Amino acid sequence: MPKVHLLPEDVISKIAAGEVIERPASVIKELVENSLDAGSDSIEVHLKDGGKTLIRVKDNGHGIEKDDLERIFLRHATSKIRSADDLFDIHSLGFRGEALYSIGAIADVTVHSKTPEQNDGWELQLRGGQRLNLRPSSIAGHGTEIYIQELFFNTPARKKFLKSNTAEIHQILTTFLPYTLLHKDHRFLLKHQDRALIDITPCNDLTERAAQVLNLEKNHLIQASQGFPERGYTVKMVLGDINIKRFRRDMQFIFINNRPVFNKNIAYNMNQIYRLIMAPDEFPFFAVYIHMPAEDIDVNVHPTKREVKLKNENEICSILRALCEQHLMTKSKGKVVMNFGGRRGEQTQGQEATKNALQYAYTKEMSEIPTHLFESPQPGTDDTAYAYPRSSDNTFYQGIQPPQAQNFYVPGQNISDQDHRNWQAELSQARYIGSFINKYLLFEMTDSLFLIDQHAAQERIFYEQFIQQIDKGNVEVQPLLSPILIKLSPQELLAWEDSGEKFERSGFSCTRFDEETLAVHAHPRLIKDVEKAVRNLLDAGGITTFDHDTIARRACKASVVTGDRLSKEQAEYQRDRLVKCLDPFTCPHGRPIVIELTEKFLDKQFLRK
């Protein structure tokens, strides 16, 4: 009996859909691209339940004729190419004929469309790939409106992997925003539950568009452009200066021939140039717009069309590096300590007065903060308490789970509990003998030398202290004489709005200063870099679903920095607090804190017997 057989058509369609449509954001990408290919200059997206219940996309493009409306949901039906040769001359965002077929196979779909030449429009409805009806429809004006309902209704295995509404909206914003940067002369509207998240009107300037979309200060943006007619290349850039710093690569955009793409080589070279003005753990904003001959780019690499192959890629990277470096070095502004003021860099007379008053208060407040980082425990606190002590069976209490072993490097995993305790005891009695490059503390004990990473040690101390305070609902906070103003991206604003009480419980008191700016009025005393802590907590959807452990690890990234010189008393105080921690040998991110060099090891290095 033959074992090889052909799959049924409904199974084929669901497999194909899985390659193109992973979540609501995938649907929006494909539909927005179709609208742009149709010549639209106004695109509206309306969502319910993070796009899981409803996605509605409306445009004012040239519409779809009745005969074509019957074909567009067939597999590999497209108006963009006709032969294999056309694959090397792609000028549209879509061309494979897979998107609508895939969407129609896993959702309830209704399309209304009308061309300028038609007196009446037409409506087509499908469910799970099966056509239900095709009938006339009354539509004002020309264009297309498509309703996607009950996404993945017939693929429950895929549906169960969808995340919370907040997480799905975060991904939708990440997918949607690049198109708003790319088409500055278009109007874009994105609504969720009838609330506008993005409402962008046309403008004439790329820097204005970036400021408008991403809530950036326009005066911190640099525009660059250069043509290479002999190669057929045109390059434009919008670069953030030193005052726009991020703590992950979430504001870096690459466009090639009006298509948002990802290119690891281009991204690497752009970030390397910014190392001239930014610290290694800080990342810039940039948007790179490249136009090149269609035959020099292959976009037929993956169904999502985000990955591309470029001819002469190294040459293009060299061009980008030179242009970026030239403009950063000649047009960058100096670093601004704190930026107060109105929306999008514009200030009214009243806002100017507010700026002056807040700037004075902030400068005075900063001058009064002690320079050292180490403070004695507050009266009434138990300095010996663990954040989450182990019980007799070596488990954690209050529902806080231990970190997964595969995610953390724990030195001495084969050491018995007794040896572990002896090592702590030895370290607590070791004699401080100095520090190396204000980074490693040196302690001597009989026949051993202990090296402590002072930054990792302080992170561990603050981490356990912070997690204990969150657990008890008693976070020690530092009130501010004047607020710290942080301009947030659309994703971060959404995350903050949804974080609610949990954000306050973590020790941050915040209000909206304006439509795109967060005012921080108080923060946990353990936090040193407030902006970094806030952005870390708002990363990838806020803190609504995080446990105490995750919150503490994210916040502690902003606790202390390497390079602070410690006195003998401060070094010993840090050591004493470290050895009382639950895990004094591993930082919250899994790196070792303490290394022991024995006399025997050193004798071997010096060839002693």
Q: Where in the chain is the domain with CATH 3.30.565.10?
A: 9-200
What pLDDT sits at residue 87?
A: 45
Mean pLDDT of the chain: 75
Would you list the DSSP string of 537-590? HHTTT-STT--HHHHHHHHHTTS--TT----HHHHHHHHHHHHTSSSTTB-TTS
Q: Is the dihedral of CA 86, 92, 96, 97 positive or negative?
A: negative
Nearest to 251 by CA among 281, 213, 279, 224: 213
User: pLDDT per residue over 108-149, tens digit each?
Assistant: 999 999 998 888 889 999 888 788 888 888 888 899 999 999
- pLDDT at res. 598: 79
First to last CA, the chain: 74
- At residue 277, does pLDDT exceed 50? yes
Superfamily of domain 405-599: MutL, C-terminal domain, dimerisation subdomain (3.30.1540.20)
HSE-CB of 434 using CA atoms within 13 angstroms: 2
* pLDDT on residue 210: 94
**pLDDT at res. 436:** 80
Q: Look at residue 209 in the predicted model and tell me its pLDDT.
A: 94
C-alpha torsion 465→471→476→480, nearest 10: 120
Tell me which DSSP letter residue 344 carries: G
- Of 133-137, 311-315, 359-363, 541-545, the range with the lowest mean pLDDT is 359-363
- What's the whole-number mean pLDDT along residues 371-390? 36
- pLDDT for 543 beyond 50: yes
| Burial label, 71 (beta-carbon count in 10 A; 0-12, 13-18, 19+) | middle
Q: What is the per-residue pLDDT for 390?
A: 33
Beta strand extents in 186-268 (DSSP E only): 187-192, 195-200, 221-228, 233-240, 252-256, 260-261
pLDDT in the model for residue 386? 35
**Residue partners of 608: CB distance under 8 A and separation at least 6:** none
- Does residue 83 surpass a pLDDT of 90? no
Q: Which residue has the higher pLDDT, 28 or 156?
A: 28
Give the other-Cβ count within 10 Å of 589's Cβ: 16
3 state SS of 506: coil
Mean per-residue pLDDT for 278-298? 86
Q: What is the pLDDT of residue 540?
A: 59
Q: Residue 183's pLDDT is what?
A: 94
Alpha helices (H) along 113-205: 156-159, 165-182
Span(s) in the chain for CATH 3.30.1540.20 = 405-599
- The mean-pLDDT minimum among 203-217, 485-499, 586-600 falls in 586-600
436-472, pLDDT tens digit by residue? 887 888 888 878 888 888 888 888 888 887 777 777 7
Q: Which residue has the tokens 């985000």?
A: 306
The confidence band for 562, taking pLDDT boundaries of 50, 70 and 90, is low
User: Is the pLDDT reported for residue 336 higher than 50?
Assistant: yes
DSSP summary character for residue 27: H
- Quote the tokens at residue 568: 């003998």
* Predicted local distance difference test score (pLDDT) of residue 110: 93
Give the residue from 75, 65, 78 showing the smallest Cα distance to 124.
65
Decide yes or no: CATH 3.30.565.10 for domain 9-200.
yes
**Whether pLDDT at 163 is above 70:** yes
For residues 123 and 217, what is the distance between their CA atoms, to the nearest angstrom? 44
Can you give the pLDDT at residue 173?
92
Separation of alpha carbons 548 and 70, rounded Å: 53
The fold for domain 206-331 equals Ribosomal Protein S5; domain 2 (3.30.230)
User: In the prediction, which pLDDT does 289 show?
Assistant: 95
pLDDT band (50, 70, 90) for residue 162: confident
Model confidence at 308: pLDDT above 80: no
Distance CA 318, CA 574 (A): 47
